[in-house]
Amino acid sequence: MPIQSSDMPAIEEIKQLKARYFRFLDTKQWTKLRGLFTDDAVFEGTFDPFKGPDDFIAGVSKFNQNTVTVHHGHMPEIRIISPTTARAIWALADFIEIKATEGQPPRAQRGFTGFGHYQEKYRKEGDVWKIAFMRLTRIRVDPLLGEGKVPDLNSRQLRSGADNFMDEG
């Protein structure tokens, strides 16, 4: 089905939604991440089965409390189904590293790099697009082996964090 020019504003809004998803996930902004989902959102293919968005946020925040993550979504295929529903497939590349814990023996595997796809459904609630369904599929997962150390960034480097840069005037 060809994309209609009238679909372009919704497609751009969905791209912005997914960009916020990745940023909020990697910067551990759990409250803002929760706000991107419908209250009845469904999750499939994740490391644990989740019973809804609150359970998803609780599980993801617990798993990631001692990690550094980088998630990238690329090449979206977005189809507008109706004025309030849409579907998309996003190519995914992610990097998850578990920080070494002082006093603990080194891990044989300290994380992984993964590749796959997100399959998603969106619903517009009021004027806002939200994620109503998210399925994570994997094509490849490569372990991060060895001790590795997540370096501290010096004062000349900026670590991305829970900032409000986009909210500023």
Residue-level pLDDT at 162: 57
Tens-place pLDDT, residues 54-102? 999 999 999 999 899 999 999 999 999 999 999 999 999 999 998 877 6
- Is 157 domain-assigned? no
- Is 96 domain-assigned? yes
Comparing C-alpha atoms, which of 100, 9, 92 is closest to residue 46?
A: 92
Positive or negative, the Cα torsion across 92, 124, 57, 166?
positive
* Cβ-based neighbours of 15, under 8 Å, separated by 6 or more: 76, 78
- Is 165 domain-assigned? no
Tens-place pLDDT, residues 114-159? 999 999 999 999 999 999 999 999 999 999 887 666 555 555 555 5
Domain interval for residue 34? 5-100+107-147
Residue-level pLDDT at 110: 85
Which three-class secondary structure string do you get for 58-70? HHHHHHCCCEEEE
CATH code, 80: 3.10.450.50
Q: How many domains does the chain have?
A: 1
- Is 159 domain-assigned? no
CA distance 6 to 42: 28
- Is 158 domain-assigned? no
- Is 166 domain-assigned? no
- Is 52 domain-assigned? yes
- Is 156 domain-assigned? no
